[in-house]
């Protein structure tokens, strides 16, 4: 076939400025042709028709069964983040399409974002800023609300995958006790991180800071509900840099409004962007960022490398490092499409 057609999300770049493209050889670039997807939600099957690959950002456009062409050469959808709760992975498998995710792209940057939120809420950084810019009276108020040091405190990490494990590593210099909950992790891995594993309810009772670093699926949706929030110490903080719906946001809002816990740091919300009248936005004991705290130069650099690596691998007819819907790898239809990518020739316009 002459050339590989690639669709990219409108938020990622332009057809002439694709992240990571400069990491490919001239010969590899000559085999690729890019066009930009419109910001439709969910993604449109008409725009994916004829495409061999697509690159999309989690959260910008859901991918449902209706998003997928009934047939055609679409071989893989590459995500720029690890979350895929807005993707119908089973539908992709049924159409012989791989869902490729880049765990390394967000590991360090999201872990740093998590620790940033932990430090921001435990030191009352935003409140202190607000008081400090009001003049002498504000400076007096700043000294009336001491923060909480992490030294000797207990940080509970819910989810010890790539990001949660990196959070544990980053917290070591703070001399805090690390506890964790992850029923799927090897206990030896947790022990190597210095993390003591325990059931989630015990973690919620014990932690001075609860850090949520888990994927969103049917099992984890609202895993932090009113009953679990009620287990937390009144002096404890909740930090969520994972996905908004792992927390029952209404229950969290009620708990924060009643000062039942000390505060929360949220990079994610149930609805993004939130409505302007969302009650959680009115609270003074919550710090919120727009699901972008991990968007740093390091993230962009790692993302570019990941996109280039994924493209190189697929163009060679090989399976990328991380395929979320692993069942697709055994399907004859996927194998045929993957092999066809390796046989692609330079575009006719090169």
pLDDT of residue 348: 61
> Which of 52, 107, 228, 291 is labelled catalytic?
291
> Which of 52, 124, 131, 243 is labelled catalytic?
243
Helix H segments across the chain? Answer: 26-29, 45-48, 89-94, 103-122, 125-132, 136-142, 162-171, 187-192, 200-206, 226-229, 249-257, 297-315, 332-342
What is the model's pTM?
0.84
Task: Look up the CATH number of domain 4-101+297-342.
Answer: 3.40.50.720
From the candidate CATH numbers 3.10.20.310, 3.30.70.20, 3.40.50.300, 3.40.50.720, the one assigned to the domain spanning 106-288:
3.40.50.720
Catalytic residue status for 272? yes
> Which of 129, 169, 259, 272 is labelled catalytic?
272
Catalytic residue status for 291? yes
For the chain, which residues score pLDDT lower than 70?
Answer: 1-2, 15, 40-41, 58-61, 103, 347-350
Catalytic residue status for 275? no
pLDDT of residue 152: 97
pLDDT of residue 141: 81
pLDDT of residue 304: 84
pLDDT of residue 101: 87
pLDDT of residue 337: 94
Structure tokens at 146: 């001491």
Residue span(s) of the chain under CATH 3.40.50.720 come to 4-101+297-342, 106-288
CA distances from 147 to 166, 233, 249 (A): 24, 16, 25
């Amino acid at each position: 076939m002459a050339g590989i057609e690639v669709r990219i999300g409108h938020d990622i770049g332009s057809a002439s400025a694709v992240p990571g493209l400069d990491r490919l050889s001239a010969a590899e670039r000559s085999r690729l042709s890019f066009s930009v997807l419109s910001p439709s939600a969910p993604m449109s099957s008409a725009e994916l028709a004829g495409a061999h690959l697509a690159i999309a950002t989690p959260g910008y456009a859901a991918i449902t069964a209706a998003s997928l062409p009934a047939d055609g050469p679409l071989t893989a959808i590459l995500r720029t983040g690890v979350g895929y709760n807005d993707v119908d992975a089973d539908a992709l498998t049924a159409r012989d399409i791989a869902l490729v995710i880049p765990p390394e792209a967000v590991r360090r940057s999201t872990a740093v974002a998590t620790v940033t939120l932990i430090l921001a809420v435990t030191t009352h950084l935003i409140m202190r800023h607000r008081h400090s810019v009001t003049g002498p009276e504000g400076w007096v108020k700043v000294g009336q609300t001491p923060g909480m040091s992490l030294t000797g405190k207990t940080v509970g990490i819910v989810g010890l995958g790539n990001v949660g494990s990196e959070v544990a590593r980053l917290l070591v210099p703070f001399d805090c006790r690390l506890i964790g909950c992850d029923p799927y992790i090897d206990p030896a891995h947790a022990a190597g991180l210095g993390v003591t594993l325990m059931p989630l309810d015990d973690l919620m009772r014990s932690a001075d800071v609860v850090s949520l670093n888990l994927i969103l699926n049917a099992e984890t949706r609202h895993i932090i509900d009113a009953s679990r929030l009620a287990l937390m110490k009144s002096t404890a903080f909740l930090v969520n840099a994972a996905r908004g719906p792992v927390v029952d946001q209404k229950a969290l809002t009620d708990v924060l409004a009643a000062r039942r816990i000390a505060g929360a740091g949220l990079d994610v919300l149930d609805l993004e962007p939130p409505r302007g009248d969302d009650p959680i936005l009115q609270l003074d004991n919550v710090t919120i960022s727009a699901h972008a705290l991990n968007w740093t130069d390091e993230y962009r650099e790692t993302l570019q490398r990941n996109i280039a690596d994924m493209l190189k691998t697929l163009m060679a007819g090989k399976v990328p490092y991380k395929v979320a819907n692993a069942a697709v790898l055994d399907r004859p239809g996927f194998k045929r499409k993957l092999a066809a990518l390796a046989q692609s020739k330079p575009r006719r316009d090169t």
